[in-house]
Chain A
Amino acid sequence: GENVEQHPSTLSVQEGDSAVIKCTYSDSASNYFPWYKQELGKGPQLIIDIRSNVGEKKDQRIAVTLNKTAKHFSLHITETQPEDSAVYFCAADPSGAGSYQLTFGKGTKLSVIP
């Protein structure tokens, strides 16, 4: 089955700096890679996703890059703000192999220091 590794597990940045979270996956059939943000006491919320036919996607201050050859993808947050503090999860969907199950990384706790 799919295995998703996520690094780092914790990340502290100064307000205004950039944050980068990286994930690797094992199943080359995976073709959908979402990122979720989870605030304390709430459910995960989809913030951006990328499909295997695209190398990069941006949405205001967040961007995701995908390298299918190396089987890794990354979340980039620029100009971080205190409200970006949360736990972020990456995931991979090996639907190409007929699995249809999102496999999640273990999460990154991002702290933005004012």
Chain B
Amino acid sequence: NAGVTQTPKFQVLKTGQSMTLQCAQDMNHNSMYWYRQDPGMGLRLIYYSASEGTTDKGEVPNGYNVSRLNKREFSLRLESAAPSQTSVYFCASSALQGVNEQYFGPGTRLTVT
């Protein structure tokens, strides 16, 4: 039982390049989330998926798109990376949306030059 896994662990992009961050969970959770973590800012929600087939914007969705591929997988896409998107990205999952524990992956450290 690996929990929440993320790939890649590290990535360097040039401004304007695109990439997809992958996330998978093996806990049979219904809800999945993408956060970004910046120094002194805590964790901010980018997008979430309450259940398979649904996605919704969080606090900071601009510049990102998401896909809930199936119950296990939730990807985050940067279509045209900008230096302001340099951050550490975390995927999380929870059994249900709402009053439930969220379990986090190990993160992807992204640098945009």
Q: Which residues of A contact B (CB under 8 A)?
A: 1, 6, 31-32, 34, 36, 42-46, 49, 51, 89, 93, 95, 100-102, 104-107
Contacts and interface: CB of A to CB of B under 8 A. Distances in A.
B99 A102 contact: no
Contacts of A45: 104
A46 B102 contact: yes
Given A44-B90, A101-B59, A106 B40 contact: yes
Interface of B: 4, 33, 40-45, 48, 50, 58-59, 90, 92, 97-107
A2 to B, nearest CB: 10
Contacts of B105: 43
Contacts of B4: 43
A44 B42 contact: no
Nearest to A105: B42
B104 A95 contact: no
- Across the A-B interface, give the 8 residue pairs with the lowest CB-CB distance, nearest first: A43-B104, A95-B98, A32-B99, A106-B42, A104-B42, A104-B43, A100-B97, A44-B104
